[in-house]
Amino acid sequence: MIPVEWVCRRVATGSFLKRNPGVKEGYRFSPLKMEMFFKDDANNDPQWSEEQLLEAKLCLAGLTIGQCEVDIMSRSTVAIFEIVEKAWATQNCSLVDMKIEFGVSVKRREIVLADVIDNDSWRLWPAGDRSQQTDKQVYRELKEVTPEAMQMVKRSFEWVSERVKLLLEPQASSRVVLLMGSTSDVAHCEKIRKACASYGIPCVLRVTSAHKGPDETLRIKAEYEGDGIPTVFVAVAGRSNGLGPVMSGNTAYPVISCPPLTPDWGPQDVWSSLRMPSGLGCSTVLSPEACAQFAAQILGLRDHLVWCKLRASMLNTWVSLKLADKKLQACSL
């Protein structure tokens, strides 16, 4: 374990107010406020600056904590907070602040989350109301520990326990409907479906041609509009893309064109997906993986589980780039 506690705050309260006189309780931090504290019981866990952490040159499992590691812990703390915050928002509960700790993987010599995030780690205010707080602060603020007071604390912790079970339940089902011009586009669609699966988004594959059977295309559209499930339509048609524009002009649902371009006619075919008449909001994305990501960003506005997977993916990408840069610098020395 790295002997540093990382604290992420959305709302000013608690010890922050004592250390920053003049700041009123309830001040909202956007972006999040980051703090770190060195774990030293004898000195009451003093607050550290980033410079102090770097100068300490802590070494664990053969890894010296330098700028790269500090940046990863800082970025990870923010991402973890935002993911937990998003989940609690589905229960109309505000995540006020949260503390976490990191460690070093002995095998890989990489920074890893090494903490259990529970009711001892955060402040939770249902409906954003401090008087309804349900975290360990309830116990801390007891004037006298009585059986009745302990029952109140127990009820608060039981409330959290019950709500935590709901955090992994989707608030709204969602899907991506892939419309391909012919079965020759199946391989391209499978790439999109695989990428969507990484975000937990189900995909439906259909074959229809807006040129050869526009009535059937619109019938399929109506089929998925009729059940009220949040849906993103993806049109997969390379040569003279009619699916995307026709769908976009006849539905209020988002439509993405992801044409499977070929080396010979691709530069010409793509214009049927790019040059749209006025009144159409059909976007065009060439990469199957990027198409799935775009669909996830749309659906994630209502589905917190999709949003959280997106946020985690962003963090993983950032960390992988950071580690790659560190490795390259080490090779250049």
- Check whether residue 29 and residue 143 sit in a common domain: yes
Last residue of a domain, one of 123, 146, 168: 168
Res 213: pLDDT: 92
Alpha carbon 175 to chain centroid distance?
18
CA-to-CA dists, residue 243 to 85, 113, 217, 257, angstroms: 39, 46, 8, 8
Whether residue 102 is contained in a domain is answered as yes
Give the domain range for residue 71. 4-168
Last residue of a domain, one of 168, 186, 220: 168
- Check whether residue 109 and residue 209 sit in a common domain: no
Distance CA 117, CA 110 (A): 20
Sign of dihedral through CA atoms 17, 23, 27, 33? Answer: negative
Helix (H, G, I), strand (E, B) or coil at 40: coil
Res 265: pLDDT: 62
Sign of dihedral through CA atoms 291, 294, 299, 300? Answer: positive
Res 276: pLDDT: 82
Whether residue 106 is contained in a domain is answered as yes
Q: Which residues of the chain are modeled with pLDDT < 50?
A: none
Q: For 288-309, how does the pLDDT look when each residue is reduced to its tens digit (9 = 90+)?
A: 999 999 999 999 999 999 999 9
Residue 154 tokens, joined: 């127990």
Whether the model clears a pTM of 0.85, i.e. scores above it, the answer is yes
- The radius of gyration of the chain's CA atoms, rounded to the nearest angstrom, is 25
Res 22: pLDDT: 97
Place of tokens 């001892």: 120
DSSP string, 188-201: HHHHHHHHHHTTT-
- Check whether residue 150 and residue 189 sit in a common domain: no
- Check whether residue 160 and residue 180 sit in a common domain: no
CA-to-CA dists, residue 107 to 62, 110, 193, 293, angstroms: 10, 8, 34, 32
Q: Residue 165 burial (CB < 10 Å; 0-12/13-18/19+)?
A: exposed
Res 333: pLDDT: 61
- Which strand (E) or helix (H) includes residue 281? none
Whether residue 311 is contained in a domain is answered as no
- Check whether residue 259 and residue 118 sit in a common domain: no
Give exposure, 230-244, as e/b (b: 16+ Cβ within 10 Å).
bbbbbbbbbbbbbbb
Last residue of a domain, one of 150, 168, 186: 168
Number of structural domains (the chain) is: 2
Extended strands (E) in the chain:
4-11, 28-38, 47-48, 59-60, 63-64, 93-104, 111-113, 122-126, 175-180, 203-207, 231-236, 255-257, 283-284
Whether residue 232 is contained in a domain is answered as yes
- Check whether residue 101 and residue 243 sit in a common domain: no
31: preceding bond cis by omega (within 30 degrees): yes
Whether residue 328 is contained in a domain is answered as no
